[in-house]
Structure 1
Amino acid sequence: MKFIELLRDHLDAFNQAYDGQITSSMRQAIFAMLNCRSNTERTSQWACRSCTHTADFPLSCGHRSCPQCQHNTTTEWLNKQQAKLLPVEYYMVTFTLPYELRSVTKHQPELMYQAMFSVAASVLKDFAKNSKQLGGDIGFTGVLHTHNRRRDYHPHIHFIIPAGSFNKHKKQWKKNKGKYLFNAFNLAKVWRARLLAQLAKLSLKLPSSIPQKWVVDCQHVGKGLPALKYLSRYLYRGVLPDKNIVSNIDGQISFAYLENHGQNSQTNTTEIRTLPTVEFLWLVLQHVLPKGLRRVRDFGLLRGGSARLRQRIRLMLAVAGTVFAPLENTTKTQAIRPCPCCRQPMIFMGVHRNKHARLTSFLRQKPTTPNATV
């Protein structure tokens, strides 16, 4: 059972139920998924090494919301981030948007997500500079997630942070001591004040009731690679993998998800959630991001332009006796197709235009206005 098949079978009912809430970005995602690997303008051409057989195959849509695309993209991102890892302890800091502001985010996602990134980054940088243990420049990678484990709308940003800072005046790396980075309650207070001030500058209409206490979580996560793997889980493979859809009975879709019982719980249990098909489609599609919005951002020492500085820090740590863990295998997987005639490997010959592609007129049939909401 695949999400795309459910979307194709129930598209008319979905359009009728959520017509006023479907954004242009969502329609583009739907269009891409419905044509993924089935009816594309270009095809990949393959030729057999042992016989004369050739074949054309439709391309993947490549959309970041498609559940059957982007596996290689996830691997490539992990490889690039792993190359930036420092041999130190890491922390994960999560900034969560309160429930009362989520309706504003649905109406103005680009402005809100950009404000969340910029404000949270400024909070982390200032806390590091004012910290007695750090007192310097830090680096961190932020990943925007828009849902919780049940796939409800729940915008938050995870940041993974190496436990140390670089003093550019003394040219020294300062290691953070212990398993404590920043006070989460103080982070939450500053996060609230700065974000509300930024939203006021943007002239966004905010609800009258905004909670005084916001949530920021700061946890020690050991080495950085496990945290990176957690962040990559939903980055480029859609909101819900097809393997998690467990049943389709009488118009009710059930999917499995992992639930963590309690903040200090170390075990996850598999839970089942069931929704009517159209509601299930909306549950997933509401997480389509605006076109062009960067979900992953590097800051400070982890930016692409800081490669030399990271190498300098590694040399400092090596001189100090730090043991470097070996990198995981970063070999890029190669696409392999067996020949249907002789079963020998086929050679990729390139990408060509598909003259027989019959693109649907889905986007033309359902025009949207710029003010459509998620």
Structure 2
Amino acid sequence: MTKAATLQQALTRFLDPTGLDRQRQRVCTHLLACRTEAMGGMVLQCSDCAHVQPRYFGCRDRHCPQCQGRAMEQWAERQQANILPVRYYHVVFTLPHSLNGWIQLHPEVLHRLLFQSAWHTLRTFGRDPKRLDGELGMIAVLHTWGQNLSQHVHLHCLVPGGALGDDGRWRGAHSNYLFPVRALSRHFRGHMVSALRQAASAGDLHRVTRPGDVDAQLNTLMATEWVVYSKDCLEHTHAVVRYLARYTRQIAISNARILAVDDHQVTLRYKDYRDHDRHKQLILGGEEFVRRFLLHVLPKGLMRVRHYGFLANRCRRQRLVQIRQALAVVEQAPNVDTAASGTEPTYTCPHCKQPTLRMIGTLTPQRPLYDQPPNHKEQRYRG
């Protein structure tokens, strides 16, 4: 069994589709079909040694550990091109685990309010005349799991250390934590709890049906210390971008972390952050592994990556020019994407080890899927 097949084998052995919602059924169908005859593909032949082999299409589902590698690299490259010559901060907003039940009941609502509350918190501190007195920028990536596949919902934010003032001047941050984390935590808690209360009053949390549960939960949340992490990454900004890129297109677990699958259980490798980041092994029953994995399937259409402030899509180009001018930095021309040049792709031949495999035919999908991935014609060249 290859590493690329470990998750598929676990799902094949232990997945029970009974009771799954349509989105989870669709995701599991895509993952099981990925890079198999079910997806169809193309026939490749080596122009040197005449070796012939099939190459099956990927499912391109954003939950798939085998797909989206190139998309992640391109995302990271775009963010690297926009890096400013300033101190950056890595800020993490974490939701208390007591909200996990509500997140499963209303994922769209809870995730939307998490993004809004995190940005409202940073924006409020950035606009404070006693602090930076200007507009911040933020890239936020949703992350829903811990190393052991448990539900651990938090938001990773990459924040340039400074604000663009209304007068066009750049006001840089100089601390090693951007803003006091205790103050950030309490503001974040207050805004999130208030937003949840408003959502409950508007009927957006209608699946929470036990009498008095909303008030009891929100009162408990206000009495709990919430966790916000903030640290500068002056020397590691590009590494943080690459770290965030890994979570823009995939979820929960990579095939490399699945060490073994047998008839009853799955063995994982994980990092124990509470024990000096030591690597350990975790053995889960097959059904429990599938249950934990499916906890992290996002609702269709939910955006996991969002940009705010002067990094928002509608104004980013103009704002970055203003900031670089304020910093007296010459604007660099964007790199040309040579991948879109229209040249025929080649692949490395496993027999003679030369990049001489070329497409000579196509393979028809063997069975229908819930829905076909987008841009299927273009997909054959992405690998």
**Length-normalised TM-score, structure 1:** 0.82
Residue correspondence of structure 1 range 145-294 to structure 2 within 5 A: 145-168=143-166, 170-203=167-200, 204=205, 205=208, 206=214, 208-209=216-217, 210-211=220-221, 212=223, 213-222=225-234, 223-249=236-262, 251-261=264-274, 268-294=277-303
Unmatched tracts of structure 2, length 5 or more: 209-213, 372-383
Aligned to 2:357: 346
* 8 A contact 1:84–1:302 mirrored in 2: no
Which of structure 1's runs of 4+ aligned residues deviate more than 6 A?
A: 51-55, 327-331
Shift of 1:52: 8.0
* 186 and 361 in structure 1: CA distance in 2 versus 1, 3 angstrom threshold: closer
SS in structure 2 at match of 1:91:
strand
Shift of 1:207: 6.2
* 251 and 46 in structure 1: CA distance in 2 versus 1, 3 angstrom threshold: same
* 8 A contact 1:101–1:207 mirrored in 2: no
Counterpart of 1:189, as a letter, is R
* 8 A contact 2:125–2:131 mirrored in 1: no
* 330 and 97 in structure 1: CA distance in 2 versus 1, 3 angstrom threshold: farther
CA displacement, residues 325-367 of structure 1 (integer Å, 9 cap, x when unaligned): 9x999986996424578766134579x6x545223689xxxxx
* 269 and 207 in structure 1: CA distance in 2 versus 1, 3 angstrom threshold: farther
* 119 and 361 in structure 1: CA distance in 2 versus 1, 3 angstrom threshold: closer
* 8 A contact 2:39–2:59 mirrored in 1: no
SS in structure 2 at match of 1:261:
helix
Moved more, 235-244 or 123-132: 235-244
CA displacement, residues 38-59 of structure 1 (integer Å, 9 cap, x when unaligned): 1345534656556888765321
| Whole-Å separation in 2 of the counterparts to 1:5 and 1:317 | 53
Shift of 1:311: 2.4
* 360 and 198 in structure 1: CA distance in 2 versus 1, 3 angstrom threshold: closer
| Whole-Å separation in 2 of the counterparts to 1:349 and 1:161 | 48
| Whole-Å separation in 1 of the counterparts to 2:174 and 2:191 | 28
Fraction of identical pairs, as percent: 28
SS in structure 2 at match of 1:240:
coil
* 356 and 284 in structure 1: CA distance in 2 versus 1, 3 angstrom threshold: closer
* 8 A contact 1:133–1:177 mirrored in 2: no
Shift of 1:316: 2.7
* 8 A contact 1:134–1:164 mirrored in 2: yes
Tell me how large the CA RMSD over aligned residues is: 3.2
Does residue 302 (structure 1) correspond to residue 311 (structure 2)? The answer is yes
* 8 A contact 1:79–1:330 mirrored in 2: no
Shift of 1:275: 0.7
**Length-normalised TM-score, structure 2:** 0.80
* 332 and 219 in structure 1: CA distance in 2 versus 1, 3 angstrom threshold: farther
* 361 and 63 in structure 1: CA distance in 2 versus 1, 3 angstrom threshold: closer
| Whole-Å separation in 1 of the counterparts to 2:31 and 2:122 | 37
Counterpart of 2:13, as a letter, is D
Shift of 1:249: 5.0
* 42 and 141 in structure 1: CA distance in 2 versus 1, 3 angstrom threshold: same
Aligned length: 345
Unmatched tracts of structure 1, length 5 or more: 363-374
